[in-house]
Amino acid sequence: MSGKFSCFCRFFLFLTVFLMISAVCPGGSRAGQGSSTLVHDPVVAGTWYPGTASELSKMVEDYLNRVPARDAKGPIAAIIAPHAGYIYSGQVAAYSFKAIQGQKFDTVIVIGPSHYVPFSGAAVYDCAGFRTPLGVIALDSELIAALMKREPRIKDLPDVFRQEHSLEAELPFLQVALPGFKLVPLVMGDSDIATCRWLAEAIVECTKGKSALIVASSDLSHYHSYDVAVEMDRQLLKKIGAMDTEGAAQCLENRKCEACGKGPIITAMLVAAKLGADRCDILHYANSGDVTGEKMSPRGVVGYGAACFSKPSAGRDRDEAEKKKAGIDLGLSKEEREELHSIARKAIEAKLTSGSPNSRAVPKDFPKLKEPRGAFVTIYKKGELRGCIGQIIPRMPLAEAVAAMAEEAAFRDPRFVPVRSDELRDLTIEISVLTPLQKIHSTDEIEVGKHGIVIARDGSMGLLLPQVATEYGWNRTEFLEHCCLKAGLAANVWKDKETEIYIFSADVF
């Protein structure tokens, strides 16, 4: 009898302890001994990022220290940052958090996608705080309550956060970059544009009078070949950089580009615009192949992008973008540039209507257009690449070169089907007028943003225009590596003495 009683007592004790533990909110712990306040504990600490404060702070600080300093473009309203394991996406994420490091915000709203729990609307977790190895982050309970009151589709759903990493991955970076902030954790169950709109309206309405930062947590394309991933991500980042919210949403909806956090990205773009942001800087891009070196992995790669949205500041030069555009100014007048655009478009239209090339007579009033020049013509359809072909060596007058390359880009780029008549109204044309090639003996001569590059080795050649590095936020090494890959060569071939490297610049308009 005593043995049975002893077993019963042990069972009762176990049950009591189990119920006490179960009383703690999912994924949570008590904030202090004797306290009923609950804190959400980390889910991926020790796996996706270091589990000790010393290792974690050192890793984050090292990532931030590797990001070049940049001049502030105005108060920042929102950032986009990836959320993969830090060894993969940590350095890209650091570009976003470096942009806001040391600034002061009343609250930070981190918006992530739900990877594990399907639900409708958006979820918050109204506990006392979120813990990482760097400490507990207090929540902005007042703002959380206001959001739920303003929008019933925002609900307190602790189970959504039980395994979710998308929000947690951003927290250690925020703790290092913005000590002392209050947090609003949001996870989106739906990512359609309608959900993004009502959520953005609720955030804007409830943050009036507050200094709030929006953090959209998202990786980009998933498990495509390296070249396909780079092109898909380029399309999305270009639309984000142009603050083309509808275009980005359509690209994601049509699966021409990808983002696991597409809802957070679109919501952040909508909020930023409503808060007065008029500029987006794409700070950095890389994918898992760039990080690991496994660019030909059969599993494909995952893309990561960093961006920030800023409001106008006193004294910001409105012509800054023009002054800091890629390439150089070759002295072509506004009228000459307009004439070249007209020549390019007429060449495409003539081919579509008559099936034969348009007359390429050089206009008498524009002597510069008679000078032999290399030129590239790039065609976009609703912001997406539709064709790009050019000639490096000047073989004909500039006007003729532009007409010829416009035809080639529209009808003979092997990556695309020929342009159709019903696409004409949706096409935009970018012209790059090239300077002569110059062979270099040191890659230190390459100025990113000013120079395009040509890499030649063993009969293979790759070319990248100056604007490509600027568009992707590549540094010199990344620029060289991508040019090697475009040539079908190993990424590090540019380091070999046998590899020939040429530079050129371009007037891009």
Alpha helices (H) in 332-455, listed in sequence order: 334-354, 398-411
Write out pLDDT tens, residues 415-449.
889 999 999 888 999 999 999 999 998 999 999 98
Average pLDDT over residues 475-499: 90
Average pLDDT over residues 236-264: 93
Tokens matching residue 359:
């007359």
The C-alpha atoms of residue 67 and residue 375 are separated, in whole angstroms, by 34
Integer angstrom CA distances of residue 129 from 114, 140, 168, 284, 447: 19, 9, 12, 31, 46
Domain positions in the chain: 38-310, 334-434, 438-508
Q: Which of 194, 175, 233, 207 is nearest to 78 (CA)?
A: 207
**Structural domain 438-508, CATH architecture:** 2-Layer Sandwich (3.30)
Average pLDDT over residues 389-393: 92
pLDDT at 280 over 60: yes
Write out pLDDT tens, residues 192-226.
999 999 999 999 999 998 899 999 999 999 999 99
Helix (H) or strand (E) holding 322: helix 320-323
pLDDT at 38 over 80: yes
> CATH number of 334-434: 3.30.700.20, 3.40.50.1100, 3.30.310.10, 3.40.50.10790?
3.30.700.20
Calculate the average pLDDT of the chain.
Answer: 87
Q: Which of 150, 310, 73 is nearest to 214 (CA)?
A: 310
Average pLDDT over residues 276-298: 90
Domain 38-310, what fold? Protocatechuate 4,5-dioxygenase; Chain B (3.40.830)
Amino acid at the residue 209: G
| Residue 434, pLDDT score | 95
| Residue 180, pLDDT score | 85
Is residue 355 within 8 A of residue 325, CB to CB? The reply is: no
| Residue 325, pLDDT score | 67
Write out pLDDT tens, residues 177-189.
998 899 999 999 9
Write out pLDDT tens, residues 55-112.
999 999 999 999 987 776 788 999 999 999 999 999 999 999 999 998 889 999 999 9
Average pLDDT over residues 346-356: 84
> What percentage of residues in the chain have a pLDDT greater than 70?
88
Tokens matching residue 27:
């994924």
The C-alpha atoms of residue 143 and residue 333 are separated, in whole angstroms, by 53
DSSP 436: P
Helix (H) or strand (E) holding 314: none
Tokens matching residue 294:
């496994």
| Residue 306, pLDDT score | 96
